[in-house]
Amino acid sequence: MTEPVYRGRFAPSPTGPLHFGSLVTALASYLEARHHGGQWLVRIEDLDPLRDSRRAATLICDSLRAHGLMSDEPIRFQSQRHHTYETAIAHLFEARRAYRCHCSRKQLEENGGHHPQLCRERSLPADGRPHAIRFALQEQTARWHDDLLGAQVQRLRAELDDPVIRRKEGFYAYQLAVVVDDIDQRITHVVRGSDLLPVTAHQQQICLALGHTPPNWLHIPVIRNRQGQKLSKQTHAPALDDARPERNLWQALAALNQSPPASLQTASAARILAWAGDHWRRNRVHPEPGTHQLR
Ligand SMILES: [Zn+2]
């Protein structure tokens, strides 16, 4: 069996129900996968038991289904994958790319919010005290090509702190889990919101340190409300109305600048997705953030 050339995914954190901004991202990643004749997976990134809820995860899955966005494989839940993240951390320790960090919030604040290099240089053994685990970035410039935004350059240690990969509370961090699962699920293309652009260099480095080739990235502009805030739970973005998937999908296509015909507004969700799959042009997506008029 030959490997598919395109495997994409949509990987929300279940902090609340899907809102219009997350639908736009889900739809863009779905259409990119369909356009390339590839597969599209859904993964629930429920790593933080203090923040994530099972109910929100259920609502997200229901909402995707209502909009016809069906995962080609069973939906994966990161809360069931802790052993894999532990193995990855052991591998990073062996490769001398992970270290224990005992820094308190206060110490970080005193250092201008940046992580001092002390922990990294000391490379402390486990001594029973609570500690975070950080990934050691290499001193180099990260470069990658974004499929929408073009050439990207990020200076690593000068601009970015070594990311936490396991938190002091013992939770695995997003930065690690997202890379481990993208590797494990053989994801070739990541389409996600541009709010994650700044952490791409971290993920590129972690992926390389784990011995794998990073995926292609495409960052689409996040949708903002009239106040200019990113639509999110924190900015009180309303939940999608699952009873009106046609309207939501049509508006999401318009937000992605795909110019859906007005006649499609009364079509079924399946028909809108079929039209969108045939007419998807990622280069039409405007790289600047879009504004969504909240109703
Ligand atoms: Zn530290």
147: closest CA among 24, 32, 291?
32
**Residue 230 pLDDT grade (very low, low, confident, very high; cuts 50, 70, 90):** confident
pTM, 2 dp: 0.92
Å from CA of 149 to ligand 1 middle? 34
pLDDT for 46: 96
Å from CA of 169 to ligand 1 middle? 15
Neighbours of 55 (CB within 10 A): 11
- DSSP annotation string for the chain: -PPPS-EEEE----SS--BHHHHHHHHHHHHHHHHTT-EEEEEE----TTT--HHHHHHHHHHHHHTT---SSPPEEGGG-HHHHHHHHHHHHHTT-EEEE---HHHHHHTTTSPPSHHHHH-PPP-SS--EEEE---SSEEEEEETTTEEEEEEHHHH-PPPEEE-TTSPBPHHHHHHHHHHHTT--EEEEEGGGGGGHHHHHHHHHHTT-PPPEEEEEPPEE-TTSPBPSTTTTPPBP-TT-HHHHHHHHHHHTT----GGGGGS-HHHHHHHHHHH--GGGS-SSPEE----
Å from CA of 118 to ligand 1 middle? 7
Å from CA of 95 to ligand 1 middle? 19
Å from CA of 155 to ligand 1 middle? 20
* Token code pair at residue 28: 């863009």
Domains recognised in the chain with CATH numbers: 7-79+187-291 (3.40.50.620), 82-174 (3.40.50.620)
Å from CA of 163 to ligand 1 middle? 10
**Residue 163 pLDDT grade (very low, low, confident, very high; cuts 50, 70, 90):** very high
Å from CA of 114 to ligand 1 middle? 10
pLDDT for 4: 58
Report pLDDT digits (tens) over 113-150: 888 878 888 877 888 888 999 999 986 788 999 999 99
Sheet holding 141-146, edge to edge: 150-155, 141-146, 216-220, 189-193
Report pLDDT digits (tens) over 31-61: 999 999 999 999 999 999 888 889 999 999 9
Å from CA of 162 to ligand 1 middle? 9
Q: Residues 97, 144: contact at Cβ < 8 Å?
A: no
Å from CA of 52 to ligand 1 middle? 26
**Residue 8 pLDDT grade (very low, low, confident, very high; cuts 50, 70, 90):** very high
Å from CA of 102 to ligand 1 middle? 5
Å from CA of 205 to ligand 1 middle? 19
